[in-house]
Amino acid sequence: MVEAAELIDNDFLRQFEMQMDGHLAKIEYSLQERKIFLTKLIVPEDIDNEDFKTDFMTAVFEKIGERNLSVMPTCPCIAKFVRSNRKYKRMLPVGVRI
C-alpha cells in the first residue's frame, strides 16, 4: 500500500511528505546541528489509519538514518512509535530516553 508512495523531504517547508490517494501526509521537522526534531505528524482523516502512519514513520526514520542524524521526537505519536520500535531508539541522542 504505502510502498508505492514516494517519501519527499521538502527542505523549503521543513517537512517530510507522502502522497496517498490524493491526500498529503506530513511530518514537520526542525534541523539543528546533527539533530532533527520531529515536531508534528499531520495525516488527513481519509488516510488516517495505524498501518499508514507506521509505514510513513518507518520511511521517514530510514531516510533520517541514511543521513546519520540523531532524532528528537517531540510529537507524542512519534515518540510512541520510537518506544515501540527498538531499532530506532539507537537514533536518539546520547542521554535521551523516551
Mean pLDDT value across residues 80-85: 94
As given in the structure block, the three cell numbers for residue 75 are 510529537
Residue 90 has pLDDT above 80, yes or no: yes
Position 60 scores a pLDDT of: 96
45-70 pLDDT tens trace: 988 888 999 999 999 999 999 999 99
Q: Quick check: pTM over 0.95?
A: no
CA distance 39 to 3: 24
Q: Helix (H, G, I), strand (E, B), or coil: what is residue 31?
A: strand
